[in-house]
Homo-oligomer: A and B are copies of this chain.
């Protein structure tokens, strides 16, 4: 049996949810356009690349084909690469190779590799058969000026109208944020690494 407290709580909840539903319904009615999105995941917290790979899974679930270029990463074989390479007809997966710049310490070679990876990305950004292109850690290549941000933005804007593109990595440049539809700043509240726990397979790699 409901006590008076329970029933007034339920009543308040119902009122709050009705108001919330009205606001959300109005917003849903107002949002009626479709277009290919530019999404950016940046910030110092965990989840930038993971969120990109989650969108890859979603896109595949809707029958889309997907292109992935991983910038900077590549020294260590990752779970995402192992997994998405299972679907060669649906996913084109390109890894730049040779790992993070702080392991190579050779600016000219890094620039060369980043530009070669960008050439692969450009092929994907011109391919109408791809519904989603993930440019993982591209922001790192932009931050170090391995790639010219104006050229990158120009190539992104020239892609097919309905193609989505997800860009990840810390320190996204303002020129990219300006043209993005959706931007998330992934703030670091805490990280297992600072507690002496090393990168765990399935989580960080």
- Residues of B contacting A21 with CB < 8 Å? 102-103, 105
Interface string of A49-64 (1 = CB under 8 A from B): 1111111111111101
> Known contacts A31-B198, A43-B187: does B57 contact A84 (CB below 8 Å)?
yes
Query: Which residue, A78, A82, A198, has most C-beta atoms of chain B within 10 A?
Result: A198
- Residues of B contacting A102 with CB < 8 Å? 17-18, 20-21, 24
Neighbour of A131 across the interface among B49, B84, B101, B202, CB < 8 A: B202
Neighbour of A186 across the interface among B181, B186, B199, CB < 8 A: B186
- Copies of this protein in the complex: 2
Q: Is there contact, CB below 8 Å, between B58 and A57?
A: no
A192 within 8 A of B: yes
- Residues of B contacting A56 with CB < 8 Å? 54, 57
Neighbour of A34 across the interface among B28, B51, B108, B198, CB < 8 A: B198
- Residues of B contacting A53 with CB < 8 Å? 53-54, 57-58
Q: Is there contact, CB below 8 Å, between B203 and A177?
A: no
CA distance A93 to B65 in the complex (A): 23
- Residues of B contacting A50 with CB < 8 Å? 50-52, 54-55, 58
Q: Is there contact, CB below 8 Å, between B107 and A197?
A: no
> Known contacts A61-B83, A64-B202, A197-B35: does B186 contact A187 (CB below 8 Å)?
yes
Q: Is there contact, CB below 8 Å, between B47 and A200?
A: no
- Residues of B contacting A3 with CB < 8 Å? none
Neighbour of A177 across the interface among B48, B108, B189, CB < 8 A: B189
CA distance A195 to B33 in the complex (A): 9
A98 within 8 A of B: no
Q: Is there contact, CB below 8 Å, between A37 and B198?
A: no
Other than the given A60-B79, A181-B195, 13 more pairs (CB < 8 A) read: A17-B101, A20-B102, A21-B105, A37-B192, A39-B46, A46-B182, A46-B184, A50-B54, A164-B202, A182-B192, A183-B189, A184-B189, A185-B186
